Amino acid sequence: MRASYHEELSSVVDDLVTMTEKVSNAVEDATRSLLDADLALAEKVIGEDAELDQLHDDLEGRCFTLLARQSPVAGELRTIIAALRMVADLARMGDLSAHIAKIARMRYPRPAVPESMQPNFRRMATLAEEMVQIAGRTLRDRNVLDAEKMADDDEEVDNLRTHQFRLLLDENWDHGVEAAVDCALLGRYYERIADHAVLMGSRVIYIVTGMQPEGENWTIA
């Protein structure tokens, strides 16, 4: 009975890793749809968000079942609680990717991000996507060191966000209010994706060590 319980718990973790891969792909596709004004790709990301929501519901239900079936102890309980939180993080990252794709769809056939801002957004998107991938690997491998390094990447994302505001508020900004609003929202979406990835890393640290990392880099503002 206990062996079966452990197998089901391992299956939940495996499916969380798979969901992480799907979210990483959603971030990548959403970014391409945004910067390349690719309507078909934007529609794909928006449509696949429902699949991520279904995965969330399924994994959440399985976690509740594992809690109810037996009395999990120590590492088992930490893993289930962390899994419940991580699946919520992943679902939110999927939602944010869909929000990015919706802005790309709304501004089609032109790119929503002005050319002068594209390098900034491209770097921010690359970091966010990589952080989601790292979150999945740290969960799969229980790698605390990699999880701890994610806070550094998050700091770079925050710096890119600050630079965006400087550009948006600069007196030489000549792309209009609509583009400024789009860029402000998009920057927030990518920043939030990175924040949720960091939270996933903190939950891996909690699973392995039983300790919750502290500091402003491990929370969502």
Residue 141's identity, in one-letter code, is D
pLDDT at 220: 56
pTM of the full structure: 0.93
Question: 96: closest CA among 16, 179, 31?
Answer: 31
pLDDT digits (tens, 9 = 90+) for 150-182: 888 999 999 999 999 999 999 999 999 999 999
Q: Which CATH architecture has domain 2-218?
A: Up-down Bundle (1.20)
For every residue of 157-179, DSSP letters joined together read HHHHHHHHHHHHHSTT--SHHHH
Q: What is the pLDDT of residue 6?
A: 82
Q: What is the pLDDT of residues 43-67, one digit of tens each?
A: 999 999 999 999 999 999 999 999 8
pLDDT digits (tens, 9 = 90+) for 68-102: 887 777 788 899 999 999 999 999 999 999 999 99
